[in-house]
Amino acid sequence: MTTHSLAPTERAGVAVLGTGIMGSAIARNLVAAGLPTTVWDRSAAATAPLAAAGAVAAASASDAIRDAQVVITMLPDAEVVESVMFSGGPPPFAPGAAWAQMGTIGVSATAGLAARLGRVRPDVTFVDAPVSGSKGPAEAGQLLILASGSAAAEPILAPAFAAIGRKTVWLGAAGQGSRMKLVVNSYLSFLIEGVAEALELGHRLGIDPAALDAVLEGGPLDAPLADAKLHKIASGDFTPEFPLEWALKDVDLAIGAADGASLPMLAALSRQWHTAVEAGYGRGDVSAVRLALVDPAPAGS
């Protein structure tokens, strides 16, 4: 991977569409890096703090992207991306712009967006670039960017990607980023459910979570993500960093992309997480799957 510095000659306007947990953190880091940043969200209130931090809040998605050399979409699903980008006809990208689609929307939807853009705006480069990392890494500018698409887009996107990520891995043709993201998030999901169930078993057997943590610390089973979720569960803090409903969406996208392959553990995890979301845990952190093992629903739901 080539490292790019943010030289003034490389700076270009960036538009961020979708300023939820991840999009707002991305926008703040772009502003902090000195990149002119325009933001838009379906909820205008979501862009107000970013405007106060130095971004320009656009009244519409079209206004946001019109003069941007780089457009980042961080929207919840394929239907929303399609609606935001194409509901008014061909999107009014600046000539030669690059569109980095960074939300997790699945393999087939990504291919459909790339094909549609190619038909109506062949001068715009589509880059499939989902990210690995939740709220903390996003805020720290430490996301892992799983990029795929034309190599011509790399220098255009390099300043923005350097501002928001610790590493960008280019994986080939557009669509490979989404494929890798589904595999990575399936692995992540197993780790999180494994921590939750190990803690539940430990509770049943009288094992203190701190003792389990001490046993795992520094050994081959001490995965940083698992350790972070173990601490989060043990502290009872389920403030969303990666909401459970989003994690479940990614699990189901992975199962769908597998085209009928036998994935019994992932299928069982999906059923359990659907139960947890239906019980009311979906907007909490994905680590709230621990609570769903024992409690029928969150307090006050």
Helix/strand/coil (H/E/C) assignment for every residue in 65-134: HCCCCEEEECCCCHHHHHHHHHCCCCCCCCCCCEEEECCCCCHHHHHHHHHHHHHHCCCCEEEECCEECC
Q: What is the pLDDT of residue 297?
A: 72
Cα atoms found within 13 Å of the Cα of residue 81, Cβ hemisphere only: 26
pLDDT digits (tens, 9 = 90+) for 190-217: 999 999 999 999 999 999 999 999 999 9
Handedness of CA 182, 223, 278, 77 (dihedral sign): negative
pLDDT band at residue 11 using 50, 70 and 90 as cut-offs: very low
Q: What is the pLDDT of residue 88?
A: 85
Mean predicted confidence (pLDDT) in 248-265: 96
Residue 219 three-state SS: coil
CA 170 to chain centre: 17
Mean predicted confidence (pLDDT) in 213-242: 95
Question: Does the pLDDT value for residue 7 go beyond 90?
Answer: no
Q: What is the pLDDT of residue 3?
A: 29
Per-residue tokens: 204? 């049943």
pTM confidence score: 0.91
Q: What is the pLDDT of residue 300?
A: 60
Q: What is the mean pLDDT of the chain?
A: 93
* Of 86-90, 109-113, 297-301, minimum mean pLDDT range: 297-301
Q: What is the pLDDT of residue 8?
A: 34
Mean predicted confidence (pLDDT) in 185-190: 97
- DSSP per-residue string spanning 142-165: -EEEEEEE-GGGHHHHHHHHHHHE
Q: What is the pLDDT of residue 301?
A: 56
pLDDT digits (tens, 9 = 90+) for 133-179: 999 999 999 999 999 999 999 999 999 999 999 999 999 999 999 99
Question: Does the pLDDT value for residue 10 go beyond 60?
Answer: no
Partners of 125 in beta bridges: 98
CA 52 to chain centre: 24
Question: Does the pLDDT value for residue 254 go beyond 60?
Answer: yes
Q: What is the pLDDT of residue 33?
A: 97
Cα atoms found within 13 Å of the Cα of residue 185, Cβ hemisphere only: 31
* Of 6-10, 156-160, 212-216, 271-275, minimum mean pLDDT range: 6-10
pLDDT band at residue 6 using 50, 70 and 90 as cut-offs: very low
Strand 125-128 vs strand 143-149: parallel, antiparallel, or unpaired? antiparallel
Mean predicted confidence (pLDDT) in 118-132: 97
